């Protein structure tokens, strides 16, 4: 078949497929155009899951009547003048393809009036051909209707999902932009019914409530550390006890643009390492602001991907900001039937009948969070109240009294957390203690585990193991971490290899922490192990000194909290 130039109609349809993937793509492009136009109110109407109708109306600056035909021409835009402008793009749109793509694969109608003009214009485009261009009376702003999406590309239309699925994708797009622009009023109508709306009053919590509901919005934590230099980070993350089964609730905006970036998601996941249970994922709504010249947004036609000039720095600052926020929260897990959290004050102390300052002096320690664990001088406060040991239940849980109720502490999970932070601190300061064996011992593994172990030798050396590949599937052990001195060398080594799953693209620090967590799991006191009163007190004191005392390294809670209010309700003292 000879080479030939494609007809304009075919070329436009192919190009449209890059920009308009589904109805949600249309909504995204039109919302971005409205935001670039300075709109403070955006109303979206959808019928048939976007197959039948998508209408987006805004009160932005509008389009001059004489320029309306240019708005649907390919590569026509008001946002770029030269190639140099691509190096510092500060608008959401810039490619000049969105409206042209919609007009190529749908029946498009634009009605607009610029604020400086008294008469607006209406344009109708069908399959890339302009049918109507006429003056019309209209309010300032722009209204775009897209009907019968992909009516002329049946191969594309048949691959669209059900109406319910497409509605969900559209709702997700609108929700994300509503979160990023709380100063803009959004209204989304499905089949003429209001589905979601925000006030546009600029309060991020109002936008969070509209999207996630009151309970989740109250639980989310504002970012405490905003970044350094020209890179600034704002937004919210979920506490460890608010999580989801997938990663879809990780939302990132760069200079106001909603993007998908695996490295940013990895930074957030690393910040939660050891705080979430396996298989659970956090929620995050994060906005990164940096100079336009430090980010390349001209990567993909949908503008959903970007490249950073210094990706390592962006990763580090984001990870540090999220981690600092998580470690700064002070509320341990509560029993769920308890009333909403309420700060403990003098009234609570008097009702319990215990002077906590006096209790501290009796124990001979400083107030909570100020006793540094061995090997961690000057450790930061863990954010736990001072706890008085009451006893042990089922040889597994330590019962303690605090200024605001009762705490049940899982002794195994708590000891895991203590050992993990000591081991990681020793690793970071290169002061890991090892127990040398009188005679080296050889351990043999199945092929899959042997291959995995060989790839982890360097990490194991850093964590206190001294071992070497001894040919085939065998490894010779010469020393084990001091924490595992009570286990046989074979048990100690197998404990960090058994059932260990390797990530597709593991980060070195995360992998080291995961191996360290497995070491600590084997070394920690077990459920069913009886502890003396002194051992229970020592456990709680060491837990108070931890940086993240509320979860074990694997993300399980170390304690639950039963507030005084819940006790009073159970005993009928409070209605």
Give the pLDDT of residue 179: 93
Rounded to whole angstroms, the Cα distance separating 287 from 273 reads 21
Q: Does residue 380 have a pLDDT over 70?
A: no
Q: Which of 541, 539, 452, 443 is nearest to 499 (CA)?
A: 452
Which distant-in-sequence residues (6+ apart) come within 8 Å of 519 by Cβ?
419, 423, 463, 464, 481, 483, 484, 495, 496
Which distant-in-sequence residues (6+ apart) come within 8 Å of 334 by Cβ?
341, 560, 561, 562, 563
> Tokens standing for 436?
């040398």
Place of tokens 């690393």: 270
pLDDT, tens only, 22-72: 899 999 999 999 999 999 999 999 999 998 999 999 999 999 998 888 888
Q: Does residue 301 have a pLDDT over 70?
A: no
pLDDT, tens only, 457-495: 888 888 888 888 888 778 899 988 887 777 777 777 776
Give the pLDDT of residue 9: 59
Environment class of residue 417 by beta-carbon count within 10 Å: exposed (0-12), middle (13-18) or buried (19+)? buried
**Model confidence at 329, in pLDDT bands (50, 70, 90)?**
low
Give the pLDDT of residue 366: 33
Give the pLDDT of residue 257: 86
pLDDT: which is higher, 224 or 182: 182
Q: Does residue 178 have a pLDDT over 90?
A: yes
Which distant-in-sequence residues (6+ apart) come within 8 Å of 184 by Cβ?
35, 39, 40, 41, 42, 177, 178, 198, 200
Mean pLDDT of 358-363: 34
The per-residue DSSP string of 142-184 comes to EEEEEESTTTT-HHHHTTS--HHHHHHHHHHHHHHHHHH-TTS
**Does pTM surpass 0.85?**
no
pLDDT: which is higher, 462 or 352: 462
**Model confidence at 281, in pLDDT bands (50, 70, 90)?**
confident
Rounded to whole angstroms, the Cα distance separating 412 from 528 reads 9
**Model confidence at 6, in pLDDT bands (50, 70, 90)?**
low
pLDDT: which is higher, 343 or 15: 15
Environment class of residue 477 by beta-carbon count within 10 Å: exposed (0-12), middle (13-18) or buried (19+)? buried
Are the C-beta atoms of residues 440 and 478 closer than 8 Å to each other? yes
Return the C-alpha torsion angle 172, 175, 180, 181, nearest 10.
140
Place of tokens 């995204």: 28
Q: Does residue 87 have a pLDDT over 60?
A: no
The count of other CB atoms within 10 Å of the CB of residue 512 is: 20
pLDDT: which is higher, 147 or 498: 147
Give the pLDDT of residue 97: 74
Q: Does residue 252 have a pLDDT over 80?
A: yes
Percent of the chain with pLDDT over 70: 77
Q: Does residue 75 have a pLDDT over 60?
A: no
Give the pLDDT of residue 446: 65
């Amino acid at each position: 078949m000879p080479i030939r130039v494609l007809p304009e109609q075919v070329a436009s349809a192919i190009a449209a497929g890059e920009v308009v993937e589904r109805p949600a793509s249309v909504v995204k492009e039109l919302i971005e155009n409205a935001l670039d136009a300075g709109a403070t109110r955006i109303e979206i109407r959808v019928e048939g899951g976007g197959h039948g109708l998508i209408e987006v109306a805004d009160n932005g600056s509008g389009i001059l009547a004489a320029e309306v035909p240019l708005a649907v021409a390919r590569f026509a835009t008001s946002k770029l003048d030269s190639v140099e402008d691509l190096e510092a793009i500060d608008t959401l749109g810039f490619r000049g393809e969105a409206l042209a793509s919609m007009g190529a694969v749908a029946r498009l109608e634009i009605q607009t009036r610029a604020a400086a003009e008294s008469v607006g214009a209406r344009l109708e485009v069908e399959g890339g051909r302009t049918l109507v261009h006429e003056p019309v009376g209209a309010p300032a702003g722009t209204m775009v209707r897209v009907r019968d999406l992909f009516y002329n590309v049946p191969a594309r239309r048949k691959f669209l999902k059900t109406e319910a699925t497409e509605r969900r994708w559209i709702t997700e797009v609108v929700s994300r932009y509503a979160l990023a622009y709380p100063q803009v009023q959004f209204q989304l109508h499905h089949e003429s019914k209001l589905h979601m709306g925000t006030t546009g009053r600029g309060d991020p919590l109002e936008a969070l409530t509209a999207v996630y509901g009151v309970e989740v919005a109250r639980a989310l934590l504002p970012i405490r550390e905003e970044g350094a230099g020209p890179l600034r980070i704002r937004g919210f993350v979920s506490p460890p006890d608010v999580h989801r089964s997938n990663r879809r609730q990780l939302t990132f905006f760069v200079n106001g643009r909603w993007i998908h970036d695996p490295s940013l998601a990895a930074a957030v996941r690393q910040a939660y390492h050891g705080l979430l249970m396996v298989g659970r994922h956090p929620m995050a709504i994060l906005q990164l602001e940096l100079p336009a010249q430090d980010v390349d947004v001209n990567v993909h036609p949908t503008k959903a991907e970007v490249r950073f000039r210094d990706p390592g720095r962006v990763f580090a600052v984001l990870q540090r900001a999220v981690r600092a926020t998580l470690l700064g929260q002070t509320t341990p897990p509560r029993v769920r039937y308890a009333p909403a959290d309420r700060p403990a004050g003098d009234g609570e102390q008097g009702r319990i009948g215990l002077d906590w300052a006096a209790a501290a002096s009796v124990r001979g320690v400083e107030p909570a969070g100020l006793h540094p664990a061995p090997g961690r001088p000057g450790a930061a406060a863990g954010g736990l109240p001072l706890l008085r040991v009451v006893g042990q239940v089922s040889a597994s849980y330590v019962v303690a009294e605090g200024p605001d109720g009762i705490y049940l502490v899982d002794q195994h999970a708590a000891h895991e957390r203590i050992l993990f932070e000591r081991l990681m601190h020793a690793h970071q300061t290169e002061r890991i203690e090892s127990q040398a064996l009188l005679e080296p011992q050889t351990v043999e593994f199945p092929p899959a585990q042997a291959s995995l172990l060989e790839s982890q030798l360097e990490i194991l050396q850093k964590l206190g193991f001294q071992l070497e590949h001894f040919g085939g599937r065998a490894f010779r052990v010469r020393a084990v971490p001091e924490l595992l001195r009570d286990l046989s060398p074979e048990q100690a080594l197998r404990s960090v290899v058994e059932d260990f799953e390797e990530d597709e693209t593991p980060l070195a620090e995360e992998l080291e922490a995961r191996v360290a967590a497995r070491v600590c799991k084997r070394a920690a006191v077990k459920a069913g192990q009886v502890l003396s009163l002194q051992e229970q007190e020592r456990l709680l004191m060491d837990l108070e000194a931890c940086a993240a005392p509320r979860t074990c390294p694997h993300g399980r809670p170390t304690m639950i909290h039963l507030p005084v209010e819940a006790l009073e309700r159970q005993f009928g003292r409070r209605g």
